[in-house]
Chain A
Amino acid sequence: QQQVKQSPQSLIVQKGGISIINCAYENTAFDYFPWYQQFPGKGPALLIAIRPDVSEKKEGRFTISFNKSAKQFSLHIMDSQPGDSATYFCAASFKAAGNKLTFGGGTRVLVKP
């Protein structure tokens, strides 16, 4: 059972544009929502994370928006750069599950110069 659904599967954006990736979850016990960035041949690296008690978190060009009632959260990459070309995964976990992360299916982002 896929508990975290991610869309789109891929997207192409021009340099300087905005990339938007969406995730929806089912388990209301989830209380931690990180985003990971993965380059080819590398392991995932934590990009930014949010807890459900805030609706938005911004770190540099990356912003997470969180809608608890809709059980959805999204990643916005502002001023996208070619170096942002990677696969992005949303994930979720909850207290009773410790460090267990449930990942979405991933979004391949290509930023064209």
Chain B
Amino acid sequence: DAGVTQSPTHLIKTRGQQVTLRCSPISGHKSVSWYQQVLGQGPQFIFQYYEKEERGRGNFPDRFSARQFPNYSSELNVNALLLGDSALYLCASSSGQATGNTIYFGEGSWLTVV
């Protein structure tokens, strides 16, 4: 079975531009979360979606937005990119939203803002 898949794997954007990152969860998983991992640090929670509804939001500005589609795939959008948005963006999926459900991460999308 395929794991969590993310696209694109790498991308370079210019300050002020907008970016869309995509994620397909493991088949049957209805919960998708997004994390930002700056080089040398632990992942930071951005959003969680479950059954197409936002169920949690981390301490990120409104420039960050996301949505989940009927097939449970998800997109993360970041507007007005800043240099500090350069990071690895990780998508994670799980079968439910209860604690203890194993959370599986994708390999991430590397975003470089220049």
Contact = CB atoms under 8 A, between A and B. Distances in A.
Given A42-B107, A99-B48, A31 B99 contact: yes
Given A93-B99, A97-B99, A99-B97, A106 B4 contact: no
B12 to A, nearest CB: 17
A95 B100 CA distance: 9
Interface stretch (A14-22, A44-52, A62-70, A77-85): A44-52
A6 B108 CA distance: 23
B42 A98 contact: no
A72 interface: no
A73 interface: no
Interface string A72-113: 000000000000000001010111011111111110000000
Interface in B32-71: 33, 35, 40-45, 48, 50, 55-56, 58
Given A100-B33, A106-B41, A43 B101 contact: no
A103 B43 contact: yes
A44 B88 CA distance: 12
B31 interface: yes
B82 interface: no
Nearest to B104: A46
A41 interface: yes
B87 interface: no
Interface of A: 6, 31-32, 34, 36, 41-46, 49, 51, 89, 91, 93-95, 97-106
11 contacts: A44-B43, A45-B105, A89-B43, A98-B48, A99-B50, A99-B94, A99-B101, A100-B45, A101-B33, A101-B43, A106-B41
